[in-house]
Chain A
Amino acid sequence: MNEDDAMTEPDTSTSLTQDARRAGGTGEEMIRCERVQKWFGDFQALRDIDLVVGRQEVVVVCGPSGSGKSTLIRCVNRLEKHDGGRIVVDGIELSDDIRNIQEVRREVGMVFQQFNLFPHLTILENVTLAPRQVRRVPKAEAEQHGMELLERVKIPEQAHKYPAQLSGGQQQRVAIARALAMKPKVMLFDEPTSALDPEMIKEVLDAMVQLAESGMTMIVVTHEMGFARAVADRIVFMADGQIVEVGTPTHFFTNPQEERTKLFLSQIL
C-alpha cells in the first residue's frame, strides 16, 4: 500500500476518501502539517504526515497503539520536535525560534491521558496559573474567568480542593478547564478518557462535546467511536506512523476503503 498514491493523485481521491490536505470546518486553515517526519533514534515514528485542520473543525485521530497518534499531536505544540516537513499553526510556523514556540503554545491547549494536574496547587490555582503567569491577567480577573470555566465543566464547588481529592473524571474536566483558561484557538486531546473508569468517561466526553459545539478547533486522539461519530468532522486513521485513511464519520464507519482500516474497525467496534 503506497500512501503517496492516495495523497498525490487527485483522481483517486473520491468524495468518500477525503484529501487530508484540504481544510474542513469553516475552510480557513488552522493547522497545516506538510510531509512531517519524526524519528526516535533509528525508529521513524511519523512519515510524510500531510494534514490540514480547518478553523472550528473537529478531527478525531485513531489507530492502533504505537501508530504515532500521540507523537503527531505532540509535534503540533512542540512537546516533540519534528525532524522534517513543516508545521504551521494559525499562521505561525514552528521552528527552533523559542518565541514562535511560546506563541504557538499559548494558542494551543492540551489535555493529557494522565491529566497531569499540578498536585501542589488547588483546582482554581491550577486553572489560573497560566493566564496569570503567561498572559499576565490580573488575579481577580483570572479567578473570575477560572470560576466560569469550572462552572462550564460543572465542578465550581471543587475550586479550593486539591487534585488528589477529586475523582479521575473530575480531574480530567479540571484539565480541560485549565487548558481553556489560556483562551486557546486549538485544543489537543491525547486519549483523554483512556485512564478513566468507565462510569467517568461520559462526564468528560460531555464536556468535550460541549466544547466542540462552541466552535473550538480540536484534534482528538481517542478510541471512543461514539464520540467520533457524533462530533467529528473528519476521522484520521493512522498506522505505522502514516495516515492511512481520512474521511467523514459516515464514510469511515460505513464504507472504509483500506484493508487496515477495516481490520482496525472490526477489532474496535
Chain B
Amino acid sequence: MSEIKVHSSEYRPPPPDRPPSGTRSPGVWVRQNLFNTWYNSLFTLILVPAIGYVVYRAIRFVLVTARWEIVEVNLTNLMVGTFPRSELWRPWAAVAILALVIGLGLGVTARANVEAARIRGIELTTSWQQNARRAAPALLLVAALVTFVRTATPLILLAATVVLAVAGYLVGRRIPPHRRRWMHLAVITGLLGSYVVVTQFDGVSLDRWGGLMLTVFLAIGGIAMAFPVGVLIALGRRSTLPAIRLVSVVYIELIRGMPLIALLFMGWLILPFMLPVGFPTPGRTWRVVIILLLFTAAYVAEIVRGGLQSIPRGQYEAAQALGLPPWKTMRLIILPQALRNVIPAMVGQFISLFKDTSLVLIVGLTDLLAVARRVTQQPEFLGQGLHAETLLFVSFIYWVGSYWMSRESQRLETRLGLGER
C-alpha cells in the first residue's frame, strides 16, 4: 500500500471547445441578426427609425436647443444648496479628503489583487485602458462639471482634487502588505474627517447642507451604517435566543411593509414626540439619515439572510469539528462566503438607496433634486419651462453614481470569484 503514486500536478478541467469561428463581416451580421426572419425584419424596420428619431431629438436638445445657462448660473446651488458661501472651503476640503482616501483605497486593493493573483501563479496586469474605463464615470462627471464652471477657482480646485485622487492611488500601490490593515482605518477616518471638517470648528450644521453635497452625505451615511446594522439584524434573525429572533423578524417585516415616504414623514413629524422628554432631538437631516438607514437595513438583512441560507451545512460542521466557537465560525467562515454571494443584490439595494435619497425633498430637505426643482422658480427663469435642462443634469449625476456602483460591484464579484467555483 505504500508504493502509490500521488498525483501532484494541478488539476485542470479540459479547455472548452472553441466556438465556431466568430469573424463575420458587418453585412452578414446585419442579415443574420436583424433580418433573419420576416417578423424580425419588421421589428427592425419599425424600431431603427424610431430609436434613431429619439436619439436625434435628444442630441439636438442637449447640443442645440437646451438653455444650459440655468445649470451654469446655479451650479453652486446644485452642488451645495443654501450652504453659506463664505464657508465653501469646507466642502472643498471634504472633497479633497474623500478623493485622497478613495484613491488610496483603490491603489491598495489594486496592489493586493496583483499580489494575491501572483501567489496563485496568475499574472494580473491592469492596462491603462482598463484603468481609464474604470475611472470613466468619474471622469464623465468631472467633464460635465467643467463644462458648466464659469470661473477659474473651481477649475483649479477640481484639477487639484483629481491630482489628489491619482496621488492617493499611487501612494496606495506603494504600501507594503503588512501596513495594509491600517487602510481600513484610514478610509473610515477619511469619511469621518470629511464630515468633521464641514461641521466642526465653527462649521456649518448639517441642517444647512444641500444639493449634491447633501445627497452624497445621505447616501454614504445611509450605506455605511445600513450595512453593519443589516448584517446584525440578519444574524439576530438566526439567533438561538427567541427574544432576539422575534425582535429581528418583527423589525424586518414591519419596515418592509411600509413605504419609505411614510417612514420619512414619521421621522419628521412623529419621532421628536416619541423620544423621552429632555432627550436631545436629532436635527432634521440626522432624522432623515436614521430613517434611510433603518429602512435600508431591513432590506440588507433579508439579502444577507438569503446569503446565509446559501451556505451548506457542511461548512458549519467542518468549522465546529475544528473547534471554532460559533461567533468565529460566523465571522471567518460563514459571513465572508454569504456576503460574497449577495454582492449584486446588496449593491442593487445601495443603488436604490442612492436614488431614494431624492425622496427627502418631501420632508423639506434641499437635496440635489430639490434644488433642481427650485431653481426653475427663480425670477430670471420663472415660467420659462426649463425643467428638462435641470432634470437632465441631475439625472445624469444620479446615473453616474449608480452606474459606477454597479460597475464596481461587477469588478468585485469577478475579483472575489477568482479561482473559485
Residue pair A155, B323 in contact (C-beta under 8 Å): no
List A residues 46-83 near B (Cβ within 8 Å).
77-79
Task: Tell me if A263 counts as interface (CB < 8 A to partner B).
Answer: no
Q: How far is the CA of A158 from the CA of B11 in the complex (A)?
A: 10
- Give chain B residues whose Cβ lies under 8 Å from the Cβ of A202: 4
Q: How far is the CA of A205 from the CA of B419 in the complex (A)?
A: 27
- Give chain A residues whose Cβ lies under 8 Å from the Cβ of B85: none
Residue pair B320, A134 in contact (C-beta under 8 Å): no
If A164-B419, A167-B7 touch, whether A117 touches B318 (CB-CB below 8 Å) is yes
- Give chain A residues whose Cβ lies under 8 Å from the Cβ of B337: 118-120
Residue pair B324, A130 in contact (C-beta under 8 Å): yes
Q: How far is the CA of A202 from the CA of B5 in the complex (A)?
A: 9
State which of B2, B120, B321, B420 has its C-beta within 8 Å of the C-beta of A110: B321
Residue pair B317, A105 in contact (C-beta under 8 Å): no
- Give chain B residues whose Cβ lies under 8 Å from the Cβ of A77: 320-321
Binds A, one of B29-37, B142-150, B297-305, B325-333: B325-333
Interface residue tally for chain A (C-beta within 8 Å): 45
Scoring A120, A155, A157, A170 by chain B CB atoms within 10 A of each residue's CB, the highest score goes to: A120
A134-150 to B contact mask, C-beta < 8 Å, 1/0:
10000000000000000
State which of B7, B314, B328, B340 has its C-beta within 8 Å of the C-beta of A203: B7
Q: How far is the CA of A242 from the CA of B174 in the complex (A)?
A: 64
Task: Tell me if B119 counts as interface (CB < 8 A to partner A).
Answer: yes
Q: How far is the CA of A162 from the CA of B418 in the complex (A)?
A: 9
Task: Tell me if B315 counts as interface (CB < 8 A to partner A).
Answer: yes
Task: Tell me if B322 counts as interface (CB < 8 A to partner A).
Answer: yes
- Give chain B residues whose Cβ lies under 8 Å from the Cβ of A161: 10, 120, 419
- Give chain B residues whose Cβ lies under 8 Å from the Cβ of A134: 322-325
List A residues 159-195 near B (Cβ within 8 Å).
160-162, 164-167, 169-170, 175, 178-179, 182
Scoring A78, A164, A200, A205 by chain B CB atoms within 10 A of each residue's CB, the highest score goes to: A164
Residue pair B11, A166 in contact (C-beta under 8 Å): yes
B386-421 to A contact mask, C-beta < 8 Å, 1/0:
000000000000000000000000000000000111
Residue pair A79, B320 in contact (C-beta under 8 Å): yes
A193-227 to B contact mask, C-beta < 8 Å, 1/0:
00000001011011001000000000000000000
Residue pair B323, A106 in contact (C-beta under 8 Å): yes
- Give chain B residues whose Cβ lies under 8 Å from the Cβ of A230: 1
Task: Tell me if B86 counts as interface (CB < 8 A to partner A).
Answer: no
- Give chain B residues whose Cβ lies under 8 Å from the Cβ of A112: 314, 317-318
If A112-B317, A133-B324 touch, whether A164 touches B7 (CB-CB below 8 Å) is no
Residue pair A209, B318 in contact (C-beta under 8 Å): no
Question: Which residue of chain B has the shortest Cβ distance to A203 in the bound complex?
Answer: B6
Task: Tell me if A8 counts as interface (CB < 8 A to partner B).
Answer: no
Question: Which residue of chain A has the shortest Cβ distance to B12 in the bound complex?
Answer: A165
- Give chain B residues whose Cβ lies under 8 Å from the Cβ of A79: 317, 320-321
Question: Which residue of chain B has the shortest Cβ distance to A199 in the bound complex?
Answer: B7
Residue pair A109, B321 in contact (C-beta under 8 Å): yes
Q: How far is the CA of A42 from the CA of B243 in the complex (A)?
A: 29
Contact residues of A with B, CB < 8 Å?
A: 77-79, 102, 105-106, 108-110, 112, 114, 116-120, 122, 129-130, 133-134, 154-155, 157-158, 160-162, 164-167, 169-170, 175, 178-179, 182, 200, 202-203, 205-206, 209, 230
Top 10 A-B pairs, shortest CB-CB distance: A167-B11, A116-B318, A130-B322, A116-B314, A110-B321, A105-B323, A162-B419, A154-B6, A106-B323, A160-B119
Provide a sorted-by-A list of 11 A–B residue pairs whose CB atoms are within 8 angstroms.
A105-B321, A106-B323, A112-B317, A116-B317, A118-B318, A119-B337, A129-B322, A130-B322, A166-B11, A170-B7, A209-B1
